Amino acid sequence: MPQQPKTPASEQFAQRQAQLQRWAEHALVAGNFIDGDKHEVAFSIVSGDASFRRYFRLAIDGQAFIAVDAPPDHEDSASFIHVDELFLSAGVRVPKIYAADLDLGFMLIEDFGDETYLPTLLNAQSSQDSASPNKLYTDAIDALVMLQKGVDKKRLDPYCQKELRREMNLFPEWMCEKFLGIALDATTRELINNSFEFLEEAALSQPTVAVHRDYHSRNLLVLDSAGGPGVIDFQDAVCGPYTYDLVSLLRDCYIAWPQPRIDDWAAYYLESALKAGIISGTTPAQLARDFDLMGLQRHLKVMGIFCRLCLRDNKSAYLADIPLVIQYFLDVGQRYPEIGAFLTWFRTEVLPSAREKLTLHL
């Protein structure tokens, strides 16, 4: 029997989008947000992200909602709902979920608007406005402390050694071998392994808290009402090192700040976390070391992810963000002799290829 021709991806997206719109309109009626009469509905795409999820806005009768398309073969909407409930109960401003169908991979959630931290911060930098960033970052740190204090970390999966290693392995696999075409011999792999072990041990020695896992300027939104940022993209939350979200926030892959400003915001976090009882006895020097080493782990992961997004998912725009991540890695890495040999290899073997492929000026 001859095989049926496959439906083009663009047509599948269109069919799924139409199905999502019908489902969302029914959910609005069932939730008594609108009555069952005919309504004028504006349905428009908001964004896709670094995953398979897509977000659409429904504007109807002066109200706005977000319809989420999270294909169940690729995305875990049950985890999204679970973490959303945990964060809401802690007072963190995550979107309310009005309806969900896990079999279809559809959700109807609260609309936080489009004003993420990133363009606001970039505008502040260009206009030399120092007050606005300080307000946004202290609000974000306040929300982070609320998250760490209020979310029961035992209800989240552990950020274990296996997961830390899986993430860092994205760097040699996707950046070195697949993107840059660097052959890794046995000696190099041993060097990489030893450095990864050091970073794993540093991460696992830290006090543990609930970790958002992607707490940065593209996942924080400026809301009209007071009370801190809207927080999105939290479904991969885990129980892990207390500095993970802080370094995601302050050594953001999409915007950089002078070290004195980072130090000030880190000091604000330390004071708040100590007062909240999240950590105890942590000195500024210990926080700085924990923060640095956690950042090195994260930036190795991010370099690999951004290359994978380009090669596997045809999302080449992320390549433009790799140079900042490399700069972070070099600047911080030179402070720690434990990875000195790895850094030397990075400079001599990785940087030349990265300069060519990424138009890198480092």
Amino acid at 215: Y
Taking 90 as the threshold, does the pLDDT of residue 211 lie above it?
A: yes
One domain, residues 191 and 71? no
Distance from C-alpha of 219 to C-alpha of 112, rounded to nearest angstrom: 11
Alpha-carbon torsion angle 70, 76, 78, 83, nearest 10: -100
- pLDDT for res 2: 47
Specify burial of residue 82 (Cβ count, 10 A radius: 0-12, 13-18, 19+).
middle
Domain end call among 76, 110, 144: 110
Highest mean pLDDT among 35-49, 155-169, 221-235: 155-169
Distance from C-alpha of 89 to C-alpha of 151, rounded to nearest angstrom: 8
pLDDT bin (cut points 50, 70, 90) of residue 61 is confident
At 170, give phi and psi (nearest 5°).
-65, -30
Residue 2 lies in a domain: no
- pLDDT for res 360: 73
One domain, residues 239 and 126? yes
One domain, residues 319 and 193? yes
One domain, residues 93 and 159? no
One domain, residues 212 and 317? yes
Taking 80 as the threshold, does the pLDDT of residue 87 lie above it?
A: yes
Amino acid at 358: L
Distance from C-alpha of 298 to C-alpha of 240, rounded to nearest angstrom: 13
Amino acid at 172: P
* pLDDT one-digit tens code per residue, 265-296: 999 999 999 999 999 999 999 999 999 999 99
The first and second tokens of residue 221, run together, are 């939104």
Distance from C-alpha of 162 to C-alpha of 242, rounded to nearest angstrom: 18
Residue 3 lies in a domain: no
Mean pLDDT of the chain: 93
Domain end call among 59, 85, 110: 110
Distance from C-alpha of 57 to C-alpha of 65, rounded to nearest angstrom: 6
One domain, residues 151 and 38? no
Structural domain span for residue 59: 9-110
- pLDDT for res 1: 45
* pLDDT one-digit tens code per residue, 184-202: 999 999 999 999 999 999 9
| Cβ pair 49, 233 in contact under 8 A | yes
Distance from C-alpha of 74 to C-alpha of 87, rounded to nearest angstrom: 23
Distance from C-alpha of 136 to C-alpha of 121, rounded to nearest angstrom: 8
Distance from C-alpha of 224 to C-alpha of 221, rounded to nearest angstrom: 10
CATH of the domain at 316: 3.90.1200.10
Amino acid at 175: M
pLDDT bin (cut points 50, 70, 90) of residue 9 is low
- pLDDT for res 119: 96
DSSP letters of 222-278?
--SSSSS-EE---TT-EEEETTHHHHHHHT-SS----HHHHHHHHHHHHHHHHHHTS
One domain, residues 90 and 162? no
- The count of domains in the chain is 2
Domain end call among 87, 110, 133: 110
Residue 205 lies in a domain: yes
